[in-house]
Amino acid sequence: MKKYRFLIFVVGLIALLLTQYKLVMPFIYKVASSDLFLVDSKDQSSQQAISTPLSNIAFMHCNNYIKSELGPDVTIVFPEKPLNAWTLGNYQYLISAEINVSGGDKTITSNKKYACRITYNNGDDQEGALDFENWSIIGLSGVKD
């Protein structure tokens, strides 16, 4: 048996590679090309910065979330509009803006750029867009640095 150990190893390795190449990978390609992961939405992604009513509401909700995270001891001055807002498709937005933050003693102020990723959960039904309960903050960076 010791004599054939290397030969069994090589045959097993070849069988494993052939199984992966002939069975597993075609199945994965078929699943990936199917409609299984297709999200049918009226909101299409864009590589260009946008300014739509829904992106403006997303910006407002990100600002309200930041204010609630930093607490009442911090004074924040928000801009009128974001630096950039992108739609990622399926009502997901990436908001980039700059805020002016003052600490509790009001002597230390700093400008901070933040990025907020937010999703509108109700899809094409935009009736409840003003209610923050219909939104999910996926990520926020640049505020608590």
CB of 64 within 8 A of CB of 78? no
Instruction: Render 16-78 in DSSP notation, one character per residue.
Output: HHHHIIIIIHHHHHHHHHSSTT----S----SS----HHHHHHHHHHHHHHHHHH-TTSEEE-
Domain ranges in the chain are 2-33, 53-141
DSSP 135: E
Q: Give the predicted TM-score (pTM) of the model.
A: 0.70
Mean confidence (pLDDT) of the chain: 87
3-41 residue pLDDT tens? 889 999 999 999 999 999 999 999 999 988 888 777 667
